[in-house]
Amino acid sequence: MKIITYIFIVFLMTNLSAQDAESYYKQGMQKASAGNFDVAIGLFSKALEINPEYASAYMQRGFAYSLEQKYDVAIKDFTKAIELKPKHVWTYKNRGMAYGKEGKHNLAKKDFNKMIQLDPENQEAYNNRGFAKKALGDKKGACEDWVKSKKLGNGEAKIILKNNHCK
């Protein structure tokens, strides 16, 4: 009977911790939506203290760090989120964007490649990979990506093609 009581208590504590982590996460989302990124980062951090396996909290904290232009820390959070949830397309996008802001265009391109591997119809992935290729001096490859994005229905790609003098 003692072992059953112990298991039940551990279950309750784990469940309460998950609820607490979720509560901090939701509060963090509200603060981030209101543009209060410092507070949001703190709330996401509290959620992660309770549940260090909370991939969405790493992703959102990384996004908040990106908006604060703290790209190196954001990349660490995105990387951890990817370790925990390797098929989450938008985490690759966010990390790729952060790499691009740091001038690490090869790493950005790799993340956009992964996005395309996971979601071959993702227009944004082609647009972003095009910008990474352009930054790496591959104008032809960039134009090909923007053409693909346009074919997938991205209206922004038409403007990008024109502005970059792609044929």
Q: Report yes or no on 136 lying in a domain.
A: yes
Boundaries of domain holding 130: 87-167
Q: What is the pTM of this model?
A: 0.86
pLDDT for the residue 167:
78
Six token digits for residue 80: 């951890």
Distance CA 92, CA 132 (A): 14
Question: Can you give the CATH number for the domain in which 7 is found?
Answer: 1.25.40.10
Tens of pLDDT, residue by residue, the chain (167 residues): 555 544 433 443 444 455 799 999 999 999 999 999 999 999 999 999 999 999 999 999 999 999 999 999 999 999 999 999 999 999 999 999 999 999 999 999 999 999 999 999 999 999 999 999 999 999 999 999 999 999 999 999 999 999 999 97
Is residue 24 within 8 A of residue 50, CB to CB? The reply is yes
If asked whether residues 25 and 59 sit together in one domain, one would say yes
